[in-house]
Structure 1
Amino acid sequence: MTMVQVKICGLMRPDDIQAVNKAQADFAGFVFAPSRHYVSLETALALQAELNPKIQKVGVFVNETTAEILAIYQAGAIDIAQLHGKSTAEEIKELQDAGLKVIQVFERKSIDPQSLANYLMVDSGKGSGQVLNWKALPHIDRTTILAGGLNPDNISQAVTIVNPDIVDVSTGVETDGHKDPAKIMNFIKNAKEEYAL
């Protein structure tokens, strides 16, 4: 049983970067799609100058073109593209051929185990904060990411039931709309603690 990895998404401020560095997150998510957590390429690059290089950088996209995604990758802002919305096998392959890893997101719909993506994410909806029915999730032999409504209080239960490879949180570690370093620390500790025995 390998230790679950943690992605903290929606980073926007220098304080957020310090918090993920300190808590030793595995992945840092930057949202390039229109949303409350949107960051420009310039902002993302400025923030990443402070990011621990061991932390993989994920760009979140909703129906952006492969050209737009590759421009952000070529600027050095992302290691992995997280694709919401429609993603064709051709688009995924084009990104992978350029050197990117790809997360394909399945929102409230069944996961396609034939997807070419490197990671398959199951989510309750873009930042909806709703929790999925964890017991109903199918077990597939692929690298899976669990997202949707996770927080420091429910994460250890989610990991126990679903046994995902990676868990993803954004609003669940915020207080008053901003990332909360204590919640980030607790989330990561609780996600990984059952492996520390």
Structure 2
Amino acid sequence: MTKVKICGLTQSVHVAASVAAGADYLGFVFAKSRRSITPEAVQAITQHVPQHIAKVGVFVQPTFSEIKQVAKIAGLTHIQLHGRLTDSVQQALAVGAFQQLHLSVIQSFNGEAATLQRELTQSPADFVLLDAPAEETVYAGGNGQTFDWDTSAKAITVSKPLFIAGGLHQDNVQQAISCFHPYAVDISSGVETNGQKDTAKITAFIKKVKELSINETTNK
């Protein structure tokens, strides 16, 4: 069953809609973004989220100290790392500091990088995520851009649970799942209208992914 992460959440109504529709992961951005949120706000809008639903903090080149502080206040279960790993984060990964904090690590990679296979193989994270290139965009992720799925899927072998992000929406998620057979799909702008989360789109997207998963299982 392909899991679903709804990212860039900032309002309780959209958290509730995601939970009600069956989201497995809720994403909150603690980096420069129009979707950025404070850890205190995350704590407030996730008070009633069931424990089995993961709360993911999205960071861009954070220090370990920053992650530790934010995770404690927000009640995170996972962290998602974009950009270069800082020295303190590399050290924390090496000594198992995130495990001690009961935090699972998702590391994001450019799905079109020439060195992608090597980077995936060397990643110390628990999960890996493929996203569209961010070099020419304002923010690291959430830009509504896809990457070359067919080429990427044929070029890599992934041994860890894989998230696919970047430009997903209800009409193309089937293609993404067919290419990668990922552990999870990660969506943000694809469930928005005029830059704001849309409860109807959230519900429809999650329903579509769950239906695709059921059909795939039935046809095996």
Number of paired residues? 195
**1:17 Cα deviation after fit:** 1.0
Q: Are the aligned partners of 2:28 and 2:36 in contact in 1 as well (CA < 8 Å)? A: yes
Instruction: Report what 1:64 is aligned to.
Output: 62
- Which residues of structure 1 form unaligned runs of 5+? none
**1:38 Cα deviation after fit:** 0.5
* 3-state SS in 2 of match to 1:105: strand
Counterpart of 1:46 (choices 44, 47, 67) is 44
Counterpart of 1:98 (choices 91, 97, 101) is 101
**1:50 Cα deviation after fit:** 3.0
Amino acid at match of 1:151: H
**1:193 Cα deviation after fit:** 1.5
Following superposition of structure 1 onto structure 2, how do residues 80-119 of structure 1 map, counting pairs within 5 Å?
80-87=78-85, 89-93=90-94, 94-107=97-110, 108-109=112-113, 110=116, 111-119=119-127
**1:72 Cα deviation after fit:** 1.7
Counterpart of 1:188 (choices 201, 206, 215) is 206
Q: Are the aligned partners of 1:20 and 1:184 in contact in 2 as well (CA < 8 Å)? A: yes
Instruction: Report what 1:132 is aligned to.
Output: 147
**1:106 Cα deviation after fit:** 0.6
Report whether the alignment pairs 1:157 with 2:175.
Answer: yes
RMSD (CA atoms): 1.5
**1:192 Cα deviation after fit:** 2.3
Instruction: Report what 2:218 is aligned to.
Output: none
Separation in 1, partners of 2:162, 2:194: 30
Q: Are the aligned partners of 1:132 and 1:148 in contact in 2 as well (CA < 8 Å)? A: yes
* 3-state SS in 2 of match to 1:120: strand
**1:15 Cα deviation after fit:** 1.2
Separation in 2, partners of 1:74, 1:183: 31
Q: Are the aligned partners of 1:17 and 1:50 in contact in 2 as well (CA < 8 Å)? A: no
Q: Are the aligned partners of 1:31 and 1:61 in contact in 2 as well (CA < 8 Å)? A: yes
**1:128 Cα deviation after fit:** 2.1
* 3-state SS in 2 of match to 1:58: strand
Amino acid at match of 1:178: Q
Separation in 2, partners of 1:53, 1:168: 20
Instruction: Report what 1:19 is aligned to.
Output: 17
* 3-state SS in 2 of match to 1:104: strand
- Which residues of structure 2 form unaligned runs of 5+? 135-140, 216-220
Instruction: Report what 1:122 is aligned to.
Output: 130
Amino acid at match of 1:92: L
Rg larger in 1 or in 2? 2
Q: Stretches of 4+ moved more than 3 A in 1?
A: none
Q: Are the aligned partners of 1:25 and 1:55 in contact in 2 as well (CA < 8 Å)? A: yes
